[in-house]
Chains A and B, each alone.
Chain A
Amino acid sequence: MSFASHDSATKQSAGQAITAEEIGASGATAPEDVARYALWLGDDALMLAQRLGWWIARAPELEEDIALANIALDLLGHARFFLTYAGTAWGKTEDDLAYFRDEEEFRSCRLVEQENGDFGQTIARQLIFSYYQYELYRRLVDSSDATLAAIADKALKEVQYHQDHASQWILRLGLGTEESKRRVQDGLDYMWPYVDELFHDDELIDALEGIAVRPSTLRADFDRRIAEILGEAGLEVPGIPGAWGGDRSGEFSEQRGHILAEMQVLARQHPGATW
C-alpha cells in the first residue's frame, strides 16, 4: 500500500481491525435468531448514520461537521458488519438488506429515527444512544457468538468516542448560555419518550441466552450515568413517560419512511449500480 511519506505528521496506515468484507468471506453463517438480532443492531446503526449524515455541510462549524460525519461513518461501519452477518442466514448481502427492504421490515428503534431538530436535539439523541450503545457493546463482547463478539469489540472503541463527543457537547450546551441550555433541555425532552424502548426485552431475547444482551439489564447503568452527566451539565433528567408501542415488532415511527426514501432511492432506481 502506498501511504504518505514516513516523516510526515500525517503518516497513514490502514490499521488492523476487521472489515465487513472479512465477515462476509469468513464463511460464518448466522443462525436464524442470531440474524434477526443482528438486524436490530444493524438497523439502529444504519438509521442513525443516515440521520447524522444530514449534518454534513450544515453543522455549526466545519470541525463539527467532520466530527458528526466521522460518527456517522463509524455507525455505517457497524451497520455493514451486522447486516452482512445477518444476511448470511438468508443468502442476502448488506446492500439487499439496506436498500431493498420496506419500512415494515426494518427493526430499528424509534429513537434513531427521530428528527435531527436543532443541534441541541441531535446532541440529546447522541447522548442517549451512545450511552445505551456503550452499555450494550460492553457486554456483547462476551457473546458466545464469535462474530457478534468481534463486531462489538471493534464498535466499542468507536462508541466510547461517540459517548465522549456527546458528553463534551452536553456539558458545553448545558453550562453555556440560557439559550443553549433551554434548547438542549428541549432536545432531551423531545427524545425521552423513545428511551424506554431501548430496554425492552423482546421475546427474541429469550431464545438467545448467552448470545444476545438482555436490554433490561442495561437500564440501571444507563440511568445512573445519564443522571450523572446531566447533573454535571446542570440539566434535568426528563420525567416524560415512554411513548406507546415500539417493541421492535415492526411498529415504527412515521419518520422511518422518509429516511428510507432518501437512503434507498438511488439503489432502487439503478439496481446493481456500482460506483
Chain B
Amino acid sequence: MSENTVSTIDASAGEWPLWEVFVRSSRGLSHVHAGSLHAPDATMALRNARDLYTRRNEGTSVWVVPADAVSASDPDSKGGYFESPQGKSYRHATYYTKSEGVKHL
C-alpha cells in the first residue's frame, strides 16, 4: 500500500464516517461494490476494508470512497428511472428484420 496520509481522529465527531468499499477480484475485471464500513480516515478505511472484505482471498485491489461522495438515484423513483425502456423493443438491434438482399450482415 502506497498511501502515506495520516490524519488524526476527530474525537468531536462521535462516530467514524461511512465509506463504500469496492473490490477488484482479479486483473482485467472492474472494481465491484462489496459493502460499506466505518473508519476515521481513508488510510484506516483501506485497512478495515482489507480485514472485512478480503479475508478469503477475494481481492487484488481495493478502493474506498467516502459514502457522502456517492450520489445515488432515489430508490422510490425507480419506476421513472428504469421502467421507461419497457415495451420499446425497437431500441434493440434484434427488433429489426434484415432487408432483402443485404449480404454480410
Residues in A lying within 8 Å of B, measured CB to CB:
3, 7-15, 61-64, 66-67, 70, 161, 164-165, 168, 171-172, 175-177, 180
Kindly list chain B residues whose C-beta atoms are within 8 Å of the C-beta of A161: 50
Is A63 a contact partner of B48 (Cβ separation < 8 A)?
yes
User: How many residues of chain B are within 8 Å of chain A by beta carbon?
Assistant: 31
Output the residue of B29, B43, B47 with the most chain A CB within 10 A.
B47
Q: Please, how many angstroms separate the alpha-carbon atoms of A9 and B26 in the complex?
A: 10
Is A12 a contact partner of B57 (Cβ separation < 8 A)?
yes
Task: Take A8-B32, A11-B25, A12-B57 as given contacts and tell me if A66 and B52 are in contact as well, using a CB distance cutoff of 8 Å.
Answer: yes
A67 to B, closest residue via Cβ = B51
Kindly list chain B residues whose C-beta atoms are within 8 Å of the C-beta of A14: 56-57
| Interchain Cβ contacts under 8 Å between A and B, 17 examples | A7-B29, A8-B32, A9-B33, A9-B34, A10-B23, A10-B25, A10-B56, A11-B26, A14-B57, A66-B52, A70-B51, A164-B1, A168-B43, A168-B44, A175-B8, A176-B8, A176-B9
Is B39 a contact partner of A63 (Cβ separation < 8 A)?
yes
Is A62 a contact partner of B38 (Cβ separation < 8 A)?
yes
Q: Tell me the smallest distance from the CB of B57 to a CB of chain A, in Å.
A: 4
Q: Please, how many angstroms separate the alpha-carbon atoms of A138 and B22 in the complex?
A: 32
List 10 extra interface pairs beyond A63-B38, A180-B9, A180-B11, CB under 8 A.
Answer: A9-B53, A10-B25, A10-B34, A10-B58, A61-B38, A63-B52, A66-B52, A172-B44, A175-B8, A176-B9
B22 to A, closest residue via Cβ = A9
Task: Take A8-B32, A164-B47, A165-B47 as given contacts and tell me if A177 and B11 are in contact as well, using a CB distance cutoff of 8 Å.
Answer: yes
Kindly list chain A residues whose C-beta atoms are within 8 Å of the C-beta of B58: 9-13
Q: Is B37 an interface residue (CB 8 A)?
A: yes
Is B25 a contact partner of A9 (Cβ separation < 8 A)?
yes
Q: Tell me the smallest distance from the CB of B70 to a CB of chain A, in Å.
A: 15
Kindly list chain A residues whose C-beta atoms are within 8 Å of the C-beta of B1: 164
Is A13 a contact partner of B9 (Cβ separation < 8 A)?
no
Interface 1/0s, chain B 50-90, versus A by CB < 8 A?
11110111100000000000000000000000000000000
Contact partner, B51, options A13, A15, A66, A168, Cβ 8 Å: A66
Kindly list chain B residues whose C-beta atoms are within 8 Å of the C-beta of A70: 51, 55
